[in-house]
Structure 1
Amino acid sequence: MSDRLTYQGEMETKLQQLGAQLDQLKAKADQAGEDVKADIEAKIEALKAKRDEISQQLAALKEAGDDAWESLKAGFQSAWDELSKAFEEAASKFKSE
C-alpha cells in the first residue's frame, strides 16, 4: 500500500511540475512572434487538455481497489509517458524557432 501511495504522490507532483512548465512555455510563447505564438499556444492547449485527462485518470487510480489498481496504473503510466513526450516535442520545437 505504501508503494501505491508513493507512486500516487510522485505522479501528483509531476503533474504540478508539468503545469508550471506549461505556464513557463506559455510565457515564452507570449513573447514570440505571432506565427510562432499561435502554433505554440495551440500545442499548449492540447497539452493542457491531455494533462487534465491524466489528472482525472490519477483520481480514478486513487479510488481504485487493489484488484484494479495495477491495471489502471499501467494505463495511467502509458498516458503519462505520451504526455511527457508530447511536452518535450512542443518545448523543443519552441526552442528551435
Structure 2
Amino acid sequence: MTNPVTSMEQVQKKFADAFEAVGNYSAHQRDQAIKEFQNALDELDAEIDRMENRVRENWNTMSDETKQATSSSLRQLKDRRNEMGEKLGAMKAGGEKAWDEIKSGFETAFKQLKSAWRSADEKSGSVH
C-alpha cells in the first residue's frame, strides 16, 4: 500500500512544479503548460480519492467534531480543485492575448488550493 504522506507530498510537489512551469511558459508554449497542468490535476484527483478512502475507512472511529471538520475540509479542497479545473478550461479556450490574465487567475486559484489542501490534510491527519 502507498504511504499516504509520501503520496501527498509527491502530488503537492508535482502540482507546485507544474504551476511554476505554467508561470514560466510564454503564450507560445501554452499547449505544453496545459498538458503539464492537466497531468497535475489528474494526480490531485487521485490523491483526493485516496484521502476520501482513508476517511471512509476510519469514519466510525472519528469523533463527531473530527468528522465535521474533515468533511468541511475535503469539501473546500474539492471546491478549490474544481476552480483549478475551470482555470484550466479557460487556459484551453483562451488565446495568446489572454495568457497573462489567465496565468494571474491561476496563481490566485493555486494559492487557494494550497490552503484548502493543507487544511484537508491536517484534518484527515488523524486518519493516516
Into which bin does the TM-score normalised by the smaller protein fall?
Answer: 0.7 to 0.9
Aligned identity (percent) is: 28
8 Å contact kept, 1:47–1:83? yes
| Matched residue type, 1:27 | N
> How much does 1:19 deviate?
1.0
What residue is the counterpart of 1:27 in the other structure? 53
Match of 2:36 among 3, 6, 10: 10
63-72 or 29-38, which moves further after superposition?
Answer: 29-38
Letter in 2 for 1:65: G
If the length of structure 2 is used for normalisation, what is the TM-score? 0.65
Superposition CA RMSD, Å: 1.8
2: CA distance, partners of 1:88 / 1:11: 20
Q: Which runs of 4+ in 1 moved over 3 A?
A: none
1:43 aligned residue: 73
Structure 2's unaligned 5+ residue stretches are 1-27
Residue of structure 1 in register with 2:19 after alignment:
none
Q: Tell me what 1:75 maps to.
A: 105
Which of 107, 117, 121 aligns to 1:91? It is 121
Deviation at 1:58, TM superposition (A): 0.9
Q: Is the 8 A contact 1:26 1:41 kept in 2?
A: no
Q: TM-score, normalised to structure 1's length? A: 0.83
